């Protein structure tokens, strides 16, 4: 027994545990067997005690989910600056050669040229339809509908044009003679379908120009006349035929 006393105590264990059924103190107990935890929820768990705990298993990811995660990880980040640049369209012009109708030659260089805005445009033409140079620093035009009226306002900064031609400033085709040199000019036109239009303008510079021509507005054929003298511009289009 060694150092074990009658009551089962020892110097290292002066207060031993006693078994109430056998009355033996200090006896060794069998190690407590912990319940086995099952990781498979499909097993028959009818034998499990109330205190047993079973860790749930997460479902296996589907192949499509794995592929989507891999795709997102490999995709490069969005480049916002590149998206903005894609929205910009180049409207520059650089041309030397025959005219569109192949009736002469022309040369034109423009940083930006559309129907509504022209910026840094210079050129010249020698053809059956137009003869002479032109240069524009800035031209802008805006058209809005007000009730049954079409109201257009245009602004020119640094514009020079000279020589005869058949394409008139009011959009008609006929004949114009003279030239203009404008530092700053503003022009407005009010048009009503079936009634024609009137034009008035004022600018800083010198002008001496006149034009007469015909154009089609919708189903209406109009005759247009326009004149510029010194700093003033007036014009009108009158309906003469309706389809």
62-73 per-position pLDDT tens digit: 666 656 666 666
98-155 per-position pLDDT tens digit: 998 899 999 999 999 998 999 999 999 999 999 999 999 999 999 999 988 999 999 9
Give residue 160's pLDDT: 94
Alpha-carbon span 135 to 133, nearest angstrom: 7
| 243 confidence band (pLDDT: 50, 70, 90) | confident
Model pTM above 0.75: no
Q: What is the DSSP string of the chain?
A: -TT--TTS--SS-SS--B-TTT--BSPPPPPPPPPPPPS-TTS--TT--TT---PPPPPPPPHHHHHHHHHHHHSPPP-HHHHHHHT-----EEEEEE-TTSSEEEEEEEEEE-SSEEEEEEEEEEESSBEEEEEEEEEEEEEEEETTEEEEEEEEEEEEEES-EEE-TTS-EEEEEEEEEEEEEEEEEEEETTTEEEEEEEEEEEEEEEEEEEEEETTEEEEEEEEEETTEEEEEEEEEEE-
Give residue 22's pLDDT: 63
Are 38 and 45 in contact by the 8 Å Cβ rule? The answer is yes
Instruction: Write down the domain spans for the chain.
Output: 93-242
């Amino acid at each position: 027994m060694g150092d074990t006393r009658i009551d089962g105590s020892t110097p290292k264990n002066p207060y031993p545990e006693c078994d109430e059924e056998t009355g033996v103190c200090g006896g060794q107990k069998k190690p407590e067997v912990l319940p086995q935890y099952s990781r498979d929820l499909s097993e028959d768990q009818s034998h499990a005690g109330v205190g047993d705990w079973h860790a749930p298993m997460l479902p296996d990811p589907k192949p499509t989910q794995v592929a989507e995660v891999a795709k997102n990880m490999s995709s490069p980040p969005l480049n916002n600056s590149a998206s903005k640049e894609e929205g910009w369209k180049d409207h520059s012009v650089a041309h030397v050669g025959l005219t569109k109708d192949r009736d002469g030659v022309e040369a034109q260089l423009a940083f930006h040229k559309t129907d509504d805005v022209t910026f840094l445009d210079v050129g010249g033409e020698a053809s059956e339809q137009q003869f002479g140079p032109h240069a524009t620093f800035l031209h802008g035009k805006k058209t809005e509908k007000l009730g049954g009226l079409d109201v257009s306002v245009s602004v020119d900064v640094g514009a020079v044009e000279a020589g005869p031609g058949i394409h008139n400033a009011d959009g008609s085709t006929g004949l114009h003679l003279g030239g203009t040199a404008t530092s700053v000019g503003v022009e407005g036109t009010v048009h009503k379908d079936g009634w024609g239009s009137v034009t008035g303008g004022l600018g800083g510079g010198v002008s001496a120009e006149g034009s007469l021509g015909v154009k089609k507005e919708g189903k209406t054929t109009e005759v247009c006349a326009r004149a510029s003298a010194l700093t003033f511009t007036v014009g009108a289009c009158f309906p003469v035929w309706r389809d």
